[in-house]
């Protein structure tokens, strides 16, 4: 099964509302990556978190890595229609190179 | 610099037919992988390769074969297509290393009837 569980599966918000998606793992992760997939498109890398408790920001997006390195979140402040898409977290399987993805959170926005 | 190129973009197969999905990258990446994407299932790893001549299974390898004869190419073969293999397939590549970001191709939408 997948190493990382992602919730929620779907989220619909009004434009201007905030949005958060969460990834959780039962094992310690070496790092966590976040990707965005626009409708009809392919996943595109957003950011990587490596350190315990790390917080990174990209404009209205805030990424956090938990202190135990078992969970992570992506928060979008004041969503815009350009934020529509599916957000995935991903992490290398322990002891291996292969990258395993969460189920993704599909974000839709009412303008 | 084209990145990761997948062909074809769309394909319809009849049950039992075979075909090869092509993937090529021009970034000299050691690591290449194939994922399938189904609604509600996210991206599931089919096969991956850490270099020419080396391949290994991912989470859902059954029904698929791969080979890696060159650094650039990583084709995915369906030997006998089944309706359960209807999906969107993505090829990805990255440098070797656990911190490497993955670059994805545009995807192949496959329908098996």
Q: How many CB pairs under 8 A join A and B?
A: 64
Distance of alpha carbon A81 from alpha carbon A83, whole angstroms:
5
**pLDDT on residue A21:** 98
**pLDDT on residue B99:** 72
The answer to whether residue A5 neighbours chain B at the CB level (below 8 Å) is no
Give B33 to chain A, closest Cα distance, Å.
8
Give B43 to chain A, closest Cα distance, Å.
6
pLDDT band, very low/low/confident/very high, at B11 (cuts 50, 70, 90): very high
Per-residue tokens: B95: 């440098």
pLDDT single digits (tens) B90-110: 999 998 776 789 999 999 999
Which residue is associated with the tokens 């791969």?
A: B66
pLDDT single digits (tens) B39-58: 878 899 999 999 999 999 99
Residues in chain B: 113
Distance of alpha carbon A101 from alpha carbon A109, whole angstroms:
23
């Amino acid at each position: 099964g997948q190493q990382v569980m992602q919730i929620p599966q779907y989220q619909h918000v009004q434009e201007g509302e905030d949005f958060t998606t969460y990834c959780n793992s039962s094992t310690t992760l070496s790092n966590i990556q976040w990707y965005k997939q626009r409708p009809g498109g392919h996943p595109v890398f957003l950011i990587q978190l490596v350190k315990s408790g790390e917080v990174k920001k990209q404009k209205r997006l805030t990424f956090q890595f938990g202190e135990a390195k078992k969970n992570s979140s992506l928060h979008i402040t004041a969503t815009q229609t350009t934020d529509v898409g599916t957000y995935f977290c991903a992490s290398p399987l322990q002891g291996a190179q292969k990258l395993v993805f969460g189920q993704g959170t599909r974000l839709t926005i009412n303008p | 610099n084209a990145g990761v190129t997948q062909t074809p973009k769309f394909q319809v197969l009849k049950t039992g037919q075979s075909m090869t999905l092509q993937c090529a990258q021009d970034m000299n990446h050691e690591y290449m992988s194939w994922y399938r994407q189904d609604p509600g299932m996210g991206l599931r790893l089919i096969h991956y390769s850490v270099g020419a001549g080396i391949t290994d299974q991912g989470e859902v390898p059954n029904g698929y074969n791969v080979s890696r004869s060159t650094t650039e190419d990583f084709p995915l073969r369906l030997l006998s297509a089944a309706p359960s293999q209807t999906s969107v397939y993505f090829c990805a590549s990255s440098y070797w290393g656990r911190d490497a970001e993955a670059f994805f191709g545009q995807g192949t939408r496959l329908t098996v009837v």
